[in-house]
Structure 1
Amino acid sequence: MLAPQRQAAILDRVRATGGVRVTDLATEFGVSDMTIRRDLEALADRGLLAKVHGGATSMQPGSTDEPGFAAKSIRQQAEKAGIAARAAELVTPGIAIALSAGTTTAELARRLTDVAGLTVVTNSIPVADIFYRSGRPDQTVVLTGGVRTPSDALVGPVAVGAIRTLHLDVLFLGVHGMSERAGFTTPNLMEADTNRALVGAAERLVVLADHTKWGTVGISSMAALEEAHTVVTDAGLPDAGQAILTEHVAELVIVS
């Protein structure tokens, strides 16, 4: 396959899935990682995609664009790890928590598999799988039913109906975007309904959002800024965003 043909195929994949990994593309096309990196650089130079660590993502997302779980998992990995580690300090043995779908909440799940007596409610297939694979017998994991989204969330009336019967201590909510006007948002209308049900079921709302989420607005709002008890983010948050969140949120935690 010639380089232009391979680059066209890569671009089609990015547009279809929202992002790609260098290692996956190298295996698929039978070329070296360096060859794929040169392809991605050529496409990025033309403004057709955005290079990120380990791969590439689509450019200029709209309010309804929803990258897949794998595509999002290669974005801001260090920031998400720091946010998850700090959020894990808020979890104590024996409580009932909810983890919404998202790559940052999945990072948090990996840090909670050793917490004794934990009850976890989630609409995320990857999050449920993390707890399932840990096999800790004193943890209870409840996976809602529902329709699967590109980000591996289960949403819709089945999920909402199950969540509305529950009473939870803390919800850890991953978001697509956050802004002063729109609050915390998602690009998926059905996921917004499901996450609003999670917000309503929890005594405390903790939002996990890296700095790139500030100023991004999805099509549907899940909660106003004032509804969050805590927002955990990273030091890349712009000064304007820090000032607004400090004004509207009870506690802003910035992870360095």
Structure 2
Amino acid sequence: MNTSESTEPARGRGGQLAAQRQATIVAEVNSRGAITVAELVERFGVSDMTIRRDLDALDSSGLLHKVHGGATSVGLRSAHEPGFDAKLTQESTAKHAIAQAAASRVRPDSAVGIGAGTTTYALARHLLRIENLTVVTNSARIADVFHSNSRSDRTVVLIGGIRTPSDALVGPIATAALQSLHLDMLFLGAHGVDAEHGLSTPNLMEAETNRAFIAASRQVVLVADHTKWGTIGLSTFAGWNDINIIVTDPGLPPPTRKAMHRTGCELVIAP
């Protein structure tokens, strides 16, 4: 009798806490568009398994969309494009590790292309020390990183175009400008990465501009944290035969690593 009396209130309290936590998760996802399991574990101080159970329940209820490594708003589908600032704080530690590992591939006297994105934005800061560097980018934010640390042996070319919610400059003007260039290396992020569908974006014009970037480059490096895997945007802009190197973080599951090895690309796990 005593056991029954003490257990039942605990269950009630646990249920209330779970309901409060899940309500907060839904509010956060709707506000930001997406959130990761790691962020939720840190915020609530509960186990990874607890958060995944919460996401399962909320996904079943139609309140959010569970994806690999986290969750997105139910309105976040293949044509939805999150803003730059919304993505900037997500997986920031992983992005900086990826950026550092990718930057180590760049040598002095190189012409480097850098696509728009928050991981490539982190990469730009790690490239400031490279001597005699020519940078071509379609991101005003990335160009500003180099301009704020100006040096005489660096040339920065900002490709113009129509601005997307993720702060990329895209469209016919950007695409035409890239067609006459020859780059040693290109660093690209992606909205979505999938073993079958390759690299994708919600923006059709950005897809076209990224294809022009790839066509102008001798070597293409994908920089993307593990949460991008399994997401498919509206338009594929690169297949695995277009990519030479993949740089990601240790959160990428073993089965996905095997799938990436089968693409023939070099897979780099940033420490």
TM-score, normalisation: structure 2 = 0.75
**Do the aligned partners of 1:18 and 1:68 also contact (CA within 8 Å) in 2?**
no
Query: What is the deviation of 1:49?
Result: 7.2
**Do the aligned partners of 1:178 and 1:215 also contact (CA within 8 Å) in 2?**
yes
* Structure 1 counterpart of 2:6: none
**Do the aligned partners of 1:113 and 1:136 also contact (CA within 8 Å) in 2?**
no
What CA deviation, in whole Å up to 9, does each residue of 1:208-234 have, x standing for no partner? 011011111111011102221100011
C-alpha distance in structure 2 between counterparts of 1:147 and 1:197, whole Å: 15
Task: Within 5 Å, give how 1:42-81 maps onto structure 2.
Answer: 59-60=73-74, 61-81=76-96
Change (3 A) 1:68 1:14: farther
C-alpha distance in structure 2 between counterparts of 1:159 and 1:205, whole Å: 18
What CA deviation, in whole Å up to 9, does each residue of 1:47-89 have, x standing for no partner? 5679xxxxxx952431111111111001001110110000010
C-alpha distance in structure 2 between counterparts of 1:249 and 1:100, whole Å: 23
Query: What is the deviation of 1:206?
Result: 0.4
Task: Within 5 Å, give how 1:166-245 maps onto structure 2.
Answer: 166-245=181-260
C-alpha distance in structure 2 between counterparts of 1:98 and 1:49, whole Å: 36
What CA deviation, in whole Å up to 9, does each residue of 1:145-170 have, x standing for no partner? 10000000000000000011100000
What CA deviation, in whole Å up to 9, does each residue of 1:171-192 have, x standing for no partner? 0011111112210111111100
* Structure 1 counterpart of 2:150: 135
* Structure 1 counterpart of 2:267: 252
Runs of 5+ consecutive residues of structure 2 not aligned to the other structure: 1-22, 36-42, 44-53, 66-70
Q: RMSD of the alignment, in Å? A: 2.7
Say which SS state the counterpart of residue 148 (structure 2) adopts.
Answer: helix
- 1:88 pairs, out of 82, 91, 103, with 103
Change (3 A) 1:137 1:15: farther
Aligned length: 222
Partner letter of residue 232 of structure 1? V
Pair member with larger Rg? 2
C-alpha distance in structure 1 between counterparts of 2:266 and 2:194, whole Å: 16
TM-score, normalisation: structure 1 = 0.79
C-alpha distance in structure 2 between counterparts of 1:135 and 1:228, whole Å: 31
* Structure 2 counterpart of 1:106: 121
C-alpha distance in structure 2 between counterparts of 1:201 and 1:217, whole Å: 25
Partner letter of residue 269 of structure 2? I
**Do the aligned partners of 2:240 and 2:265 also contact (CA within 8 Å) in 1?**
no
Partner letter of residue 104 of structure 2? E
Partner letter of residue 73 of structure 2? M
Say which SS state the counterpart of residue 134 (structure 1) adopts.
Answer: coil
C-alpha distance in structure 2 between counterparts of 1:127 and 1:142, whole Å: 11
* Structure 2 counterpart of 1:125: 140
* Structure 1 stretch displaced more, 129-138 or 160-169: 129-138
Query: What is the deviation of 1:238?
Result: 1.5
Partner letter of residue 118 of structure 2? T
Runs of 5+ consecutive residues of structure 1 not aligned to the other structure: 1-6, 21-33, 35-43, 51-56
What CA deviation, in whole Å up to 9, does each residue of 1:35-57 have, x standing for no partner? xxxxxxxxx9995679xxxxxx9
C-alpha distance in structure 1 between counterparts of 2:171 and 2:263, whole Å: 30
Change (3 A) 1:102 1:140: same
Query: What is the deviation of 1:14?
Result: 7.2
C-alpha distance in structure 2 between counterparts of 1:133 and 1:139, whole Å: 12
* Structure 2 counterpart of 1:145: 160
- 1:116 pairs, out of 131, 153, 161, with 131
Identity %: 47
